[in-house]
Amino acid sequence: MRIATFNINNVVKRLPNLVAWLDDTQPDVVCLQELKATDAAFPAAELEAAGYGAVWSGQRTWNGVAILARGATPIVTRYELPGDPADAQARYIEAAVRGVLVASIYAPNGNPNPGPKFAYKLAWLARLTAHAAELMASGAPVALAGDYNVVPTEADIYQPNSWAGDALVDPAARAAFKALVAQGWTDSLLEHGAPWTFWSYLRRRWENDHGLRIDHVLLSPALAPRLKAAGVDKPVRDAPGASDHAPTWIDLTD
């Protein structure tokens, strides 16, 4: 069973890239982030034609998340992250697929830092940690997959100094991610070499392989023993019109 996460950076604009990757690799479950599309604009019919059922929470501009399942429709358990009824940003969706509870996560970027956007990022991550604790306590097999917008350590970035002060490497953001993982989650990519998952469009960072690891798949103790491989489909980042992220995936034994 392959579970993938992919910040698509506009699902309508990059639908051809997405469908080509689905055809090539046929993951069983895909978590998408940064749809940049309303619910009505989400390309459900096109994805169904590619063999995937979908559930989504759309939003114009920068947000929106979805979960795809090959040959099935995910069963939604949550369309939003609990803890703040006033939060209208589409950044979390959770569904059951083939016996696994999967969450697609698009954490706030937090820039400019400091400021209200960074405060929102920390508050959002605190809500995620609280909800993750409940999922952990349930004993269910859970995968928390998505763009966390956190570089966990300096080993997860090509050159720490060039990002000094950025919200992605801020010590408070790193501490929040560390606290989440410390509940007992397995950082699956870290277990298998922790490659880059994101390369900015700026300053030829893709061409020079100046990447960051900000897309993560965390596995609960009920699921972690099934982990057999993890990786990043780096060639997707090199395709014409590519997202600035590459798909990140894990393989689980059945």
Q: Are 120 and 108 within 8 A, CB to CB?
A: yes
Question: Across residues 117-134, what is the average pLDDT?
Answer: 98
Report whether pLDDT(253) > 90: yes
Report whether pLDDT(112) > 90: yes
The dihedral region occupied by 9, where left means phi > 0, alpha psi between -120 and 50, and beta the remainder, is: left
Whichever domain contains 41, its CATH number is 3.60.10.10
Question: Across residues 133-149, what is the average pLDDT?
Answer: 98
Q: Residue 16's domain spans which residues?
A: 2-252
Say what the pTM is: 0.98
Identify the band that residue 228 occupies on the pLDDT scale cut at 50, 70 and 90.
very high
Residues 67, 33, 124, 160, CA torsion sign: positive
Average model confidence (pLDDT) for the chain?
97
Residues 250, 5, 28, 23, CA torsion sign: negative
Amino acid 159: pLDDT: 87
Question: In total, how many domains does the chain have?
Answer: 1
Amino acid 161: pLDDT: 83
Cis before 114 (ω within 30)? yes
Amino acid 18: pLDDT: 98
CA distance 121 to 111: 9
Amino acid 4: pLDDT: 98
CA distance 227 to 188: 8
Q: pLDDT tens-digit profile of 35-75?
A: 999 999 999 999 999 999 999 999 988 899 999 999 999 99
Report whether pLDDT(124) > 90: yes
Q: pLDDT tens-digit profile of 92-110?
A: 999 999 999 999 999 999 9
Alpha helix positions (H), the chain: 15-25, 44-49, 116-138, 171-181, 188-191
41-45, 80-84, 143-147, 160-164: lowest mean pLDDT where?
A: 160-164
Q: What percent of the chain has pLDDT over 90?
A: 96
Question: Across residues 131-154, what is the average pLDDT?
Answer: 98
- Count of residues making up the chain: 254
Question: Across residues 126-131, what is the average pLDDT?
Answer: 98
Cis before 171 (ω within 30)? no
